[in-house]
Amino acid sequence: MDFFEHQDVARKKTGQLVLLFCLAVVSIGLILYAVGVVASGYLMADRETGAWAIEWVNPLAALFSVTLLLLIVGGGTMYKLVQLRAGGQVVARSLGGRLLSRDTNDAGERRLLNIVEEMALASGTPVPPVYVMDDERGLNAFAAGYSPSSAVIGVTRGAIDHFSRAEMQGVMAHEFSHILNGDMRLNIRLMGVIHGILLLGIVGSMIIRSFFYGSMMSGGRSRGGRKDSGGGQIVIVVLVVGGVLIVLGAVGTFFGTLIKSAVSRQREFLADASAVQFTRDPQTIAGALRSIGGYKHRARIVSPHAPEASHLFFAQAITSGFSSVFATHPPLTDRIKRVDPSWDGTFPQVDEAAYPEVRSGDRRAGQGPGGEDRTSLERLQDVLPIGAAGAVGGAAGAAVQGAIAASVLESIGRIDEAHVEHARGLLTSIPEPIREATNDAFSARAVIFGLLLHDDGPERKKQLDRLKSSADPAVVRALARILPSFEGVGPELRLPILDIATPALAAMTADQAVTFIDNARALAEADEKIEPFEWALLRIVERRLRSMLGNERRSRVDYYAMHKITDDVSVLLSAVARAGHAALESQRLAFDHAAQQLRVPGLAFKNESDSGLDRLGSALETLTRMAPRLKKQVLAASAVCISADRMVTPNEAELFRVIGDELDVPVPPLMPGQKLA
């Protein structure tokens, strides 16, 4: 199953989630209706004979049940979904997570950050902020967010202290699979649904507690010291309603567990398989699962918010009385057997006090003496070889173009060793002052401004003067400190620097983000024109900040047929053709290759005035609403367009990344200078 098939499956699972939610609400509503009928019959009973007036067709009971459902279940669900709009950071904080800074001195935390950075750069996603749950001793982790742009990684202290590097790499590959394949959006919506259903029990408990508190305060007497029989009836009804809501809370727990089980268990098997595909070593993920099985605290999470978030975690986070049937995760033994059929069924004894490298003796690439990770400047110096330019011969026909497109598409939604090795090389090549400046929000803003500055001359002076008049003085001072380091930054490092600065930018407030974007746009427009890279950087930064601040664009599908969007596709492919080819004839040839890949009538090459950056931006806004299979076709055609001369220029690589980012498709980097055939 490729990335785009995963997206379709995730959408179908969302439909299944809605169906299960509706069944749960209908079942609860019927119980509430029956309670309303009985309560109404009791209140309307004949005082002389004591006969109850039970009427099963009862508008009052219907109003009662519908009102409670709308207020409690519907309101609770909507409240939680609105609360979660800010993305995964809300989930991480609710679970006791602490945002991990990249300047940490803890060896295990540094190792974790290095693994996450490598995987993010290799897969074409923003580097997600990492949160550490310091109070959690269980071995567990999670990924949460609506999209890769708003994703966060959460890891327990127990996992940091007890997983070896290989095991942590397997766990992070598993979590990145959830990020890449659309599982997170489904999981975070599931949190909202579960909260609305479970809220019934919470409200019932509040009613009961409020009643008893009120009774103690009033002494249970009416005015004049006499018992009020009518008031007594109402009290009984209130107590019954509160008790029923508590029972319905238990019913809601049952349905919530059932829904989480139905939605998430198979996704865990798929994520395990993806982790094995990346690491090419089943023992990474199998070793982590075996460590959980042999550890005293296993994967247990003690946070009070764990029940509603249990389906997010790497392994079973809470103990359930119905664990064999309604568990959110498959049994450890089943998961291990799937990735390691030769496993003998025994779990290693994991010492609670042991540090992972001491426990396992694992001293793998990227680790120094004592098990700590080396800094980026101490990492491998090897970068993937940059290919020399090659001429396009007439023999490069449709078969070669199709193979190139297939290769690019196959890499989407996956992480492979070649891209990880390339990511390590890029991280090594970033000057250390710039790396250090991405540690906090102030200096990270300075890093982005540094990427937008011209090399030298009056344009740079104009940019700096404008920045000094509008930006925070602390940011201006940070820029002055790191400015000399940008002299050694090549085009291939610009987007990786943006990626590693993303987590720190997430710490900005909404007002700071608005000011930051205004200043960045002013820098780009200082020379009264926007270059392709400036446009690409602004598009990526603005979209990521919207996601991190809870203003992420909602995903919807409006287009299922390519013929309805041929003009926008023509604009996109024309822009891609111009990004890597100077001569008009070469641009048209590249466009024709891409059009042959799509085979859709109506595609036409656009001149620069009809497919400039502004028009390209509006075309991308339209194309974001394509069905996943159409996104796949458009990206394939873009790859063919880029490969017309069998080379990737920096402009092509950056534009292809922007296209993927806008379409919510994690595109591994096309490496500038890379030969595509």
Measured between alpha carbons, how far is 443 from 501 in angstroms, rounded to an integer?
Answer: 9
Query: Is 175 part of the annotated catalytic residue set?
Result: yes
Residue with tokens 């596709």: 569
For the record, the structure tokens of 544 come out as 């990521």
Measured between alpha carbons, how far is 346 from 187 in angstroms, rounded to an integer?
Answer: 32
Residue with tokens 């995903």: 555
Q: Show the 3-state SS of 275-319.
A: HHHHHCCHHHHHHHHHHHHCCCCCCCCCCCCHHHHHHHECCCCCC
Do residues 664 and 126 touch, judged by C-beta distance below 8 A? no
CA geometry: angle at 299 spanning 295 and 304, to 5°?
135
* Strands of the 130-133 sheet, one edge to the other: 97-99, 130-133, 152-156, 141-144
Q: Is 79 exposed, middle or buried (0-12, 13-18, 19+ CB in 10 A)?
A: middle
Phi, psi of 144 (to 5 degrees): -145, 145
AA identity, residue 526: A
Do residues 672 and 653 touch, judged by C-beta distance below 8 A? yes
The helix/strand/coil state of 141 is: strand
Count of Cβ atoms closer than 10 Å to residue 164 Cβ: 25
Query: What's the length of the chain?
Result: 677
Question: Which letter does DSSP use for residue 373 in this model?
Answer: B
**What are residue 130's DSSP bridge partners?**
153
Measured between alpha carbons, how far is 493 from 383 in angstroms, rounded to an integer?
Answer: 12
Q: Are strands 152-156 and 141-144 parallel, antiparallel or unpaired?
A: antiparallel
For the record, the structure tokens of 488 come out as 């050694």
Do residues 327 and 320 touch, judged by C-beta distance below 8 A? yes
Do residues 54 and 38 touch, judged by C-beta distance below 8 A? yes
Who's near 640: CB < 8 A, 6+ residues apart? 401, 402, 404, 405, 593, 594, 596, 597
Residue with tokens 């959690």: 136
Catalytic residue among 175, 308, 652, 654: 175
Question: Which letter does DSSP use for residue 70 in this model?
Answer: I
AA identity, residue 573: L
Who's near 319: CB < 8 A, 6+ residues apart? 300
Count of Cβ atoms closer than 10 Å to residue 232 Cβ: 12
Q: Is 545 exposed, middle or buried (0-12, 13-18, 19+ CB in 10 A)?
A: buried
Nearest to 647 by CA among 336, 478, 396, 463: 396
Measured between alpha carbons, how far is 539 from 270 in angstroms, rounded to an integer?
Answer: 32
Phi, psi of 409 (to 5 degrees): -65, -35
> CA 199, 201, 205, 208: dihedral to nearest 10 degrees?
120
Catalytic annotation, residues: 175
